[in-house]
Amino acid sequence: MKCAICKHGETQTGFTTIVLEKSETVLVFKQVPAQICDNCGEEYISSQTNKGILEKAKHEINKGIALELLNFKPSLPNVAYAN
C-alpha cells in the first residue's frame, strides 16, 4: 500500500517493536507484524494485531508488572500483517 505519511513509499511486510507506557508500567513488544514504508519507515499494524497487543498489555498491567519485554505472538487466529 502507498504510505499515508510520506505519500512516496510503498509498505513492505516486516516486524516492528512497540513500547507502551501506563503509569509505572512499561511494556515492550518485539516481533510485532507490520507493514513498513520503504521510504520513511512509518509502521502500520492491523486492527487485529492492535487488539491483541492491547489485550496482552491489559493482562500484564493487571499482574502489576513494572517492566516487561515480550515477543508478540498472536493469540487470535486471524491476527496477521497489516494490509
**Model confidence over 20-63: pLDDT tens digits?**
998 889 999 999 999 999 999 999 999 999 999 999 999 888 88
In a domain, 19, yes or no: yes
In a domain, 82, yes or no: no
Query: What's the CATH number where 60 sits?
Result: 3.10.20.860
pLDDT of residue 73: 75
First vs last C-alpha separation in the chain? 7
In a domain, 24, yes or no: yes
pLDDT of residue 16: 96
In a domain, 81, yes or no: no
**What total number of domains does the chain contain?**
1
pLDDT of residue 75: 57
Of 30, 34, 26, 1, the closest CA to residue 17 belongs to 30
CB crowding 9-37: b at 16 or more within 10 Å, else e: bebeeeebebebeeeebebebeebbbbbb
Q: Which domain holds residue 30?
A: 11-71
* pTM given for the model: 0.78
